[in-house]
Amino acid sequence: MRLIERRIGLLFAGFLLCFLVIVGRAFWLQGVQGGALASEATSQQTEDVTVPGLRGSLLDRSGNELAASENAVTIFATPYQVKNPPQAAAKLAPILELDKGEVLESLTADNGFSYIAHKVSLEQAGRVERLKLAGIGEQPDTRRTYPQGEMAGQVIGAVGSENQGLTGLEAGEESVLSATDGERRIVRDARGDPIRQETAKEAEDGEDIQLTLDPQIQEKTERVLAEVGETYAPKGATAIVMDPRSSQILAMANWPPVDPNDLSSASNEDLINKATGFTYEPGSTFKAFTVSAALEEKLVTPTSSFVLPPSIQVADRTIEDAEERGTETMSVAEILAHSSNVGAVTIGLEIGAEKFSRWIGRFGFGRPTGVQFPAEEQGLVPSLDEYSGSSMGNLPIGQGLAVTPMQMMAGYAAIADGGILKQPQLIERIGDEKVHEPKGHRVIDAGVAAQVREMLEGVLAAGGTASEVSVPGYTLAGKTGTAQVAENGTYSETKYVASFIGFAPAQDPKFLAAVIVDQPQGDIYGGSVAAPAFGQIAAFSLPYLGVAPE
Amino acid sequence: MAVAAPKRRTAPAPAPSRTSPPGKAAAPARAPQKKAAPARRPRTRPTPKGRAATAPAPSRKSPARKTPARKSPSRKAPARKASTSQAPVRAPRRARTTSRAAAVGGQLIPFASRTAVAVGQLPDSGLMVRLTRGRAWIAVLGVLLAGIVTLNVITLSFAASSSRIDEQITALDQENPILRGRDARVNSPGPVRQAAGDLGLAMPPSEDIHFTDAGPADVATAAQRLAAAAGAG
């Protein structure tokens, strides 16, 4: 009996001892080392992960992405943890498409942290992860891609290494497109498998922007410009296509093109969207506004005749036509069709400096059009008090002032759309919200606009400066321009800007386009360099837009 | 351990005065174990005999089973009655002076006290007595423990699978923009034109494109042609 009790006593003592040991150990672990162990466990078990917000996409009018963001990964190294750096570099380099020496340099850097590759695709990151290399880590990131490559490259623009907009709409619409990163806390079990995820801060994606650009017309316009570039090797070229009824821009192309995916070979000048950032003297394309002003002032009618000498003297300037001729009688319509400088200056003088200055302002020259594009140039228009004695010998023929192609388009859109000047529209939708169509305001009477349109048909008719251009089934109207480039206070004899702005169908325009070629080589005339390009764009766009032949 | 404890205590208990002969009252701990067998009989009448085997004194337990049913209401009754009897008096005052939340809180107090009483009586309930008298409670305890462990395991596995699903969602969310980009690349005009060209398709010259003005007759004609084509196909 006693034996049993002793055994029970011993057992009890044993249990008590074990219990005391356990209690002591528990006290040691929880009481003494508790804080340190808890923080260590937390750092092992919980991981705060940055959840990058995705920058908003830029879409064409069909909803195709022109610029998009996708998740990516930045690969970094903790050099002192990397075992056998040469071997690790040999494995990493082909996956990351980097030079082996470059990777090795990162892996053997003196500091405790070095980047190996930025904005690597998730597929590449997965392959790196599967290597399970010690000391190689990944940071979540996003990267910007431009699925359509060069299409509308200058318009779309590009972003920097921190995904901030640098040029084009990427910069102009930064506040809409930019995203805010979030944060997620992941709790892992002993095996490292996640057992709980908590969103500490929700990531906010940027809003998408849908543009008015039509991918087919944009692509066609760019191909035509590429042909112009190849043929005439100009310094640069731009083309804009617009629906004059809504002022929506259907295409905005530049040459030389740039691919926002790789800007390494692009110069700063190449990145400029010439449609809004290039200022030039418009030359003869400006004559349509001179004639419009005269018609609106009821100083002339389309049939009013002028006896035009071979040249005209205004102050210290002698103005002649491009082609030598004797004294001729020309109607206003013929002045436009033959692009007579003497005739246009004569009409300008009829209007007078004060009224002419006011008309330049009414058509929107000298100030930005308001198109939703950053850093739009406003051109250079002399104010009335800046006029010299010869100003009225220059301005009516588009010299002595600088405009942007977009300003010219807006002015011609007013003529095409019955005299209403509207702000050109490039953005159709921001997020789910449709951008309101600009209402515009009347600058000339609808009847005057119709008269100008009719007169501009003559430019493409037989004897006109662009008579070789036609689109079967459609009546085209427009105006050529061949302007000398002003250099060091004088006009260059070798450098020209060839341009053409036109629309169709002539009396009910549904298509408006401008082609401006800066300093073409070989040929310099708007009628032979720019107008054929316009014809090609019109030949594609009119049927594509469903405009029935007349 | 828990099984042995009551047995030791039951040995010196004066229970034999009711269930066993006096001579066996001072029997060692094993004796009541053997006598536990007859205690099963009273399952039809569990309380008195069951108690007799374990309870130290019938004088304490019997009232606990019988009288509490009467006494405890009688003890609690004043409290309940006080609350119910005062309620008509207090209600108008509360309506004027206290919020609705306070009134709800007031109603919770009697409920809480009833619950406390019920929980307090649980150890003395017939079910508990029946369970703890035999060895079945060990199995019950085992099952309960196993259940708790299983619940924990299930909860953890749910959390893990939820986390895995979260990861899958994240992966799919990340894949979406990549696929959209791929779609945009494939559908861009260049590749489409190229593919069309490979198929021998080309944009016709503008003069070759003809537009027709559709009238009611054209619709009927189109419908007939479609039907004919469908029939031929």
Per-residue model confidence as pLDDT tens digits over A216-250: 999 999 999 999 999 999 999 999 999 999 999 99
The two tokens of residue A304 are 């009013």
DSSP A484: E
Distance from chain centroid for Cα A100: 37
Contact A548 B156 (CB under 8 A): no
Query: Which of B177, B183, B211 is closest, CB to CB, to A69?
Result: B177
- Which residues of B are less than 8 Å from A539 in CB distance? 205-206
Query: Which of B177, B188, B203 is closest, CB to CB, to A215?
Result: B188
- Which residues of B are less than 8 Å from A64 in CB distance? 184, 187-188
CA B33 to chain A, closest CA, distance in angstroms equals 18
d(CA A478, CA A473): 16
Buried b / exposed e along A347-366 (16+ C-beta atoms within 10 A): bbebbeeebbbebbebbbbb
What chain A residue is nearest to B174 in terms of C-alpha separation? A71
CA A118 to chain B, closest CA, distance in angstroms equals 17
Contact B188 A151 (CB under 8 A): yes
- Which residues of A are less than 8 Å from B160 in CB distance? 189, 193-195
Show the domains of chain A with their CATH numbers: 48-189+196-211 (3.90.1310.10), 215-544 (3.40.710.10)
pLDDT in tens, B102-145: 776 777 888 888 888 888 888 788 877 777 777 777 888 899 99
The two tokens of residue B80 are 């309940």
Of A487, A488, A479, the closest CA to residue A513 belongs to: A479
pLDDT at B204: 80
pLDDT at A1: 61
- Which residues of B are less than 8 Å from A122 in CB distance? 174-175, 178
Name the amino acid, one letter, at A147: P
Query: Which of B178, B188, B211 is closest, CB to CB, to A64?
Result: B188
Contact B160 A193 (CB under 8 A): yes
Contact A472 B207 (CB under 8 A): yes
Tell me if chain B has a CB within 8 Å of the CB of A194.
Answer: yes
Of A142, A174, A141, the closest CA to residue A158 belongs to: A174
Dihedral sign computed on CA atoms, order B156, B159, B161, B164: negative
CA B191 to chain A, closest CA, distance in angstroms equals 10
Contact B205 A189 (CB under 8 A): no
Dihedral sign computed on CA atoms, order A120, A125, A131, A137: positive
The kind and range of the H/E element at A200 are strand A194-201
What chain A residue is nearest to B177 in terms of C-alpha separation? A70
The two tokens of residue A16 are 């008590």
Of B185, B181, B162, the closest CA to residue A72 belongs to: B181
pLDDT at residue B14 above 70?
no
What chain B residue is nearest to A12 in terms of C-alpha separation? B1
Contact B163 A195 (CB under 8 A): yes
Tell me if chain B has a CB within 8 Å of the CB of A70.
Answer: yes
Tell me if chain B has a CB within 8 Å of the CB of A186.
Answer: yes
**Residue of A69, A195, A250 to mutate for B, most B C-beta atoms under 10 A:** A195
Determine contact, residues A500/A339, Cβ cutoff 8 Å.
Answer: no
d(CA A508, CA B92): 83
- Which residues of B are less than 8 Å from A147 in CB distance? 181-182, 184-185, 188
d(CA A239, CA A248): 14
Q: Please report, for residues A16, A234, A266, B30, B63, the alpha-carbon distance to residue A271 in angstroms, rounded to integers and kept in the order given.
A: 82, 16, 7, 101, 98
d(CA B114, CA B117): 5
Range from A148-152, B72-76, B217-221 carrying the lowest mean pLDDT: B72-76
Three-state secondary-structure class, residue B225: helix
DSSP B135: S
pLDDT in tens, B75-108: 443 444 334 434 444 444 444 445 666 776 777 8
Contact A543 B209 (CB under 8 A): yes
Determine contact, residues A294/A332, Cβ cutoff 8 Å.
Answer: yes
- Which residues of B are less than 8 Å from A216 in CB distance? 189
**Cβ-Cβ contacts under 8 Å for A307 (sequence gap 6 or more):** A327, A328, A329
Contact B188 A186 (CB under 8 A): no
Determine contact, residues A435/A448, Cβ cutoff 8 Å.
Answer: no
Question: Which residue, chain included where needed, has tokens 């004609």?
Answer: B221
The two tokens of residue B209 are 């494109």
What chain B residue is nearest to A52 in terms of C-alpha separation? B174
Contact A542 B206 (CB under 8 A): yes
Residues 200-229, chain A, touching B (beta carbon < 8 A):
215-216, 218-220
Determine contact, residues A122/A60, Cβ cutoff 8 Å.
Answer: no
Three-state secondary-structure class, residue A264: coil
d(CA A469, CA A138): 59
Longest Cα separation, chain B: 128
d(CA A541, CA A214): 10
Contact A194 B163 (CB under 8 A): yes
Phi then psi dihedrals of residue A402, to 5 deg: -120, 135
The ipTM assigned to this model is 0.73
Of A66, A257, A74, A68, the closest CA to residue A145 belongs to: A68
pLDDT at B103: 72
Distance from chain centroid for Cα A268: 14
Contact B181 A68 (CB under 8 A): yes
Segments making up each domain of chain B, as ranges = 4-59, 77-124, 138-189
Buried b / exposed e along B110-128 (16+ C-beta atoms within 10 A): beeeeeeeeeeeeeeeeee
pLDDT at B99: 64
Average confidence (pLDDT) per 10 residues, chain A, 550 residues:
78 92 93 87 83 94 93 93 93 94 92 91 92 92 93 95 93 96 85 79 95 96 97 97 97 96 90 96 97 96 95 93 91 94 96 97 96 95 95 95 97 97 97 92 97 96 92 94 91 94 96 98 95 96 90
- Which residues of A are less than 8 Å from B167 in CB distance? 194, 197
pLDDT at A264: 86
- Which residues of A are less than 8 Å from B179 in CB distance? none
Contact B181 A472 (CB under 8 A): no
d(CA A19, CA A101): 61
**Whole-structure pTM value:** 0.75
Phi then psi dihedrals of residue A160, to 5 deg: -90, -170
Angle at A235 between CA A233 and CA A237, to 5 degrees: 85
Contact B188 A539 (CB under 8 A): no
A515: β partners: A239, A500
Contact A64 B184 (CB under 8 A): yes
DSSP A361: H
d(CA B11, CA B21): 13
- Classify burial at A188, counting beta carbons within 10 Å of its beta carbon; exposed 0-12, middle 13-18, buried 19 or more: middle
Query: Which of A151, A218, A543 is closest, CB to CB, to B206?
Result: A543
Three-state secondary-structure class, residue A478: strand
pLDDT at residue B29 above 80?
no
What chain B residue is nearest to A141 in terms of C-alpha separation? B174
Tell me if chain B has a CB within 8 Å of the CB of A64.
Answer: yes
Name the amino acid, one letter, at B162: S
Contact A68 B182 (CB under 8 A): no
* H helices, E strands: number in chain B: 11, 0
Determine contact, residues A421/A364, Cβ cutoff 8 Å.
Answer: yes
Tell me if chain B has a CB within 8 Å of the CB of A390.
Answer: no
